[in-house]
Amino acid sequence: MDTNLEVVAALLSSAPISVDAAMAAVESDTAGAVVSFSGIVRNHDAGKQVARLSYSAHPLAQGVLDSVVASVAEGAADPDGHPVRVWVAHRVGPLEIGEPALVAAVASSHRAEAFAVCSELVERIKAEVPIWKEQFFTDGTAEWVGAGALPDAGAGTADNPGAESQ
């Protein structure tokens, strides 16, 4: 595939994600703009206090993530013809309040392309990659929330526990 996008990393990680490392990884001499997105675990959702959460990924999640990044690559176009560089990671496993859950960093010659690619990556990952979060609330209750679903999976199946929450 002949694209103008260089994928530096596209991964699922059980280890903490460093926003600084992501941004440093995409920097280059041709980059006039480096933008990032960091989705942080917050302490509330729908009026309830969140204590912590855990992300679970379907076995196909890495392949879907790779496909999403490849699809975004097809549309990437740096005005100066230089590669748009991308680094993206989504956490899996337990996370505490304040930790990054999804980090994307994009470098391009110009800010408009960097922002556009970063925004599209985040939106597509949230919509398409089969990753679900279980939120644990301070009142002792818990809730599954779907962050992505397999296109052909049925709602609420064993392979797709959060589908009914979408």
Q: Hey, which residues does 113 pair with through a beta bridge?
A: none
Q: Hey, which residues does 91 pair with through a beta bridge?
A: 13
Answer yes or no: is 141 within a domain.
yes
Residue range 94-119, pLDDT digits in tens? 999 999 999 999 999 999 999 999 99
Q: CA–CA separation, 94 vs 121, rounded Å?
A: 23
Answer yes or no: is 85 within a domain.
yes
Question: Which CATH number belongs to the domain containing residue 48 in this structure?
Answer: 3.90.1170.40
Total count of domains within the chain: 1
Angle between helices 111-128 and 61-75 (to 10 degrees): 150
Contact between 160 and 96 under an 8 Å Cβ cutoff? The reply is: no
- Domain of 132 in residue numbering reads as 5-150
Answer yes or no: is 156 within a domain.
no
Answer yes or no: is 19 within a domain.
yes
- For the chain, residues with pLDDT lower than 50 are 1-2, 147-148, 153-166
Q: What's the pLDDT score for residue 160?
A: 42
Answer yes or no: is 64 within a domain.
yes
